[in-house]
A and B are shown apart, each in its own frame.
Chain A
Amino acid sequence: MRKRIALALLVLAACAASLPAAFRKEDVKVHQLANGLKVLLVEDHNIPNIALYTFFRVGSRNERTGLTGVSHFCEHMMFNGTAKVGPGEFDRRMEFLGGSNNAYTADDMTVYTDWFPAAALEAMIEMEADRMQGLAFVPGVLESERGVVASERRMSVENNNDGILNESVRATAIMAHPYHWDVIGWMSDILSWRRDEIVAYYRTYYAPNNAILVVVGDFEPAKALELILKHYGPVKASPPPPPITTTEPPQMGPKTVLVRKAAQAPSYMAVWHAPNAKDSDFLPLSILAKPLLDGESSRLYRRLVREEQLAIHVGGGVQETIDPFLFSIYVKPRPGADLDKIDRVIEGELGKIKAEGITPREFEKAMNGVRSDFYMGLQTISGKANQLGAYELLYGDFAKLFTIMDDYAAVKIERVKEVAAKIFTENNKTVGTLVPEGGAK
């Protein structure tokens, strides 16, 4: 027993400490080009490779009805040719040089992720700078890529029950703000975007003053900066994109959504409107998510999976977003499970937290989890690049990455209870269920 107490104290002390010497704020070389491009460089010679991540401040948040999904479509078109580099040539050249890439689009950002051997640095910078504003949008290529994205939607939504329910719940909970639709966009929009609309969207958001370039790996910062100035220097800044002014109005009462579909197992999801990443309630809420949902010792896993045996697994939490989004709880119910009972168990646990808060041990557990996740995420050059870029985009300053653990350590346990009482109200809640129809029970 004594050992455990000593361990707990040690953990608290360590939580308050900053990052180890291996990765410090001073290791990040920061530059801003005259055209507005923010550049973050980190030298890391652990492996002879480089991770080059480009973050654009555009995502489904910037879309409108009729153009839903277009941010994600631009992401796909970024591999389909510029005036200088023909369709498919970006990938062919990159792979010839030993590199590979991917990209992802989220509600608030679009991120291009390149991984390559050190010798390919200049070629990659040149091609990335070229496609920042040079996309050709060749009509035949555009139509083919439309088919790819439609297939992606069929895979992730139409043929994925949890995907369908998630889309319906989000659209029910959020009425006004563009977080109403999912990143993939509505199928009818995917099939209908016009080329001129897509091009105009790209021109608005793809500009150096709307981007962050993060390079981590085996290079010399002075040399890399020289290459960046050479290739990105001539890229012109664009007028600042229009601000997103829509604010989600407060929810005035509970909402429910029911999806009927052929299925072997039902699905359940509940969401509550939650604060954005910069809000002072955000960290207490993300701490709360750990003992509630994270791991087999979490309250809801114990109650729903182990004790009541109503579910196969549970998950969820809160996302770091620019505007207020949602706190989500996903449950995969067992076939035939009583979905109302699942809802009652969740309400019961939330009720306890609203009344009593979480225990000191749960609080410590959450802090340990946050800290462990944080370090695990910094083990690779791509992990570092991703974290630096995301922090710069979401908080306006990458340096937040180096103080976030202190911010967590400064949260008082009472705040978790306060925030729970504020967020988990009946009027703030939307519940979605998918119930099997036609297929086997």
Chain B
Amino acid sequence: MTQHRVLLAALLTACATGTVWAQKSTAEGIAEYRAMLADGNPSDLFEAKGEGLWQQKRGPKNASLEQCDLGKGPGVVKGAFVELPRYFADTQRVQDMESRLLTCMETLQGFNAAEIARTPFGRAEQVNMTALAAYVSAGSRGMKFNLPNNTVQEKTMYEVGKRIFFARSGTHDFSCASCHAEDNKRIRLQDLPNLTKNPGAGNGFGAWPAYRVSNGQMWGMQLRLNDCYRQQRFPYPLFGSDATIALGLYLGVNGKGGESIAPAIKR
């Protein structure tokens, strides 16, 4: 009888330590898996396609995007991504990368921006938008986030972004903060970055656009935020809306000094 008790105790101890051990090596195992995927990122395919689209004459005006001003002057791609979202005098708006690309597609190439904004992700011109986003973000690979955030419009949008981030709403009373305002949180095996400050903000913001292996899709920040809205049971946010831009600005400013790894590869 005592023998059984001892055996049982030993077994339980073994199981307990076994669980702890398994958890530790699971995190390491996943890190190893991610490292294996890093070389050979299908984002490269989208980046290459985006580069072609940037140079190609398209649209009713049969023009390329090579004069597009992403904030650092017409045609300057290098370093543009890590300074977005920012204020643009010509549109009098704070814009993120994708809404700015949309502006250029309309003004330079003659595309109908409202129609593209209404187009679901993964269809028609949205496919090209994603490729362009991958290309533009690649132009800042390895650079540090340095959003100017020095105009009254940007500072206002930052505050708007912060309010939206913490506002609980929808059927489940969720907010971005429900998942992303504390350290060391996770959903199942996914670590949730704390987006209110670095390193989480820089890591989180600098990881999109990214290729998601789970669905083989390339996602820009607009789609990433759109899906966050869906997960929180919020209404569908309009593409390039002030709400999504404000959130992007909030993340980008919080992530100042963080390194951009976009276009990245994700689960």
Q: Please indicate whether A and B come from the same complex rather than being unrelated chains.
A: no
Interface residues of B (CB under 8 A from A): none
